[in-house]
Amino acid sequence: MRVNKGETMWLMTKFGFYSIVRKDEGRFHIRSREKVDIENLVKQVPLPEAKIMESSSADYRFRVIVGQKELLSVLTFLGNELDYGNFKGCIDRTPGQSHKPYHEVWGVLADALGAYGSKGRGPNAAAHPFTL
């Protein structure tokens, strides 16, 4: 797996919402806006060496820093836990996750990129005024 410095991966999962970035060679920041999301991940994977860090000055307040081996463990775990046929329906039934704006995010992406046979607005999608 190769992740270039400065690139971001967003993961919306039944365990939480995560942003993963590579800050330095072999060091990945798994970030979340809610502490419970990082706690879920650290507990479920497990990541016994991971220390949850908090910073009120960062857009993602909570994070753990892991190496590539741990990152692959996280991604493998999340892939192995895909046990639903509809993500939005799963989230509606998942304690601690149903309040998140995943439906609204889906709507913005569907409008911009297309869904149910529509093409979406393509390159002009960024000009769409929306709020989440």
What's the whole-model pTM score? 0.79
pLDDT given at position 122? 67
Q: Which residues pair with 9 in a beta bridge?
A: 20
Residue 128 scores a pLDDT above 70: no
In a domain, 68, yes or no: yes
- How many other CB atoms are found less than 10 A from the CB of residue 117? 5
Best CA proximity match to 28, nearest among 50, 59, 55: 50
Mean pLDDT for the chain overall? 86
Reduced DSSP (H G I as helix, E B as strand, rest coil) percent helix, strand, coil of the chain, to 5: 35, 20, 45
Q: Are residues 29 and 73 in the same domain?
A: yes
Instruction: Kindly report, residue by residue over 69-108, the tens digit of the pLDDT.
Output: 999 999 999 999 999 999 888 988 888 888 888 888 888 8
If one counts the domains in the chain, the total is: 2
Residue 3 scores a pLDDT above 50: no
Share of the chain above pLDDT 70, in %: 86
pLDDT given at position 11? 93
Residue 32 sits at φ, ψ, to 5 deg, of: -145, 160
Q: Are residues 76 and 12 in the same domain?
A: yes
In a domain, 47, yes or no: yes
User: Where would I find the H helices in 18-129?
Assistant: 35-44, 68-80, 87-92, 102-113
pLDDT given at position 30? 97
Q: Are residues 32 and 16 in the same domain?
A: yes
Question: Following CA atoms 98, 91, 77, 9 in sequence, which dihedral angle do they give, to the nearest 10 degrees?
Answer: -80
pLDDT given at position 84? 92
Q: Are residues 75 and 36 in the same domain?
A: yes
Task: Return the CATH number at 40.
Answer: 3.30.70
Identify the domain containing residue 97 by its residue range.
85-116
- How many other CB atoms are found less than 10 A from the CB of residue 124? 9
The pLDDT-based confidence of 119 (bands split at 50, 70, 90) is confident
In a domain, 29, yes or no: yes
In a domain, 53, yes or no: yes
Q: Are residues 16 and 74 in the same domain?
A: yes
pLDDT given at position 44? 93
Instruction: Return the minimum-mean-pLDDT range out of 6-10, 34-38, 71-75, 125-129.
Output: 125-129
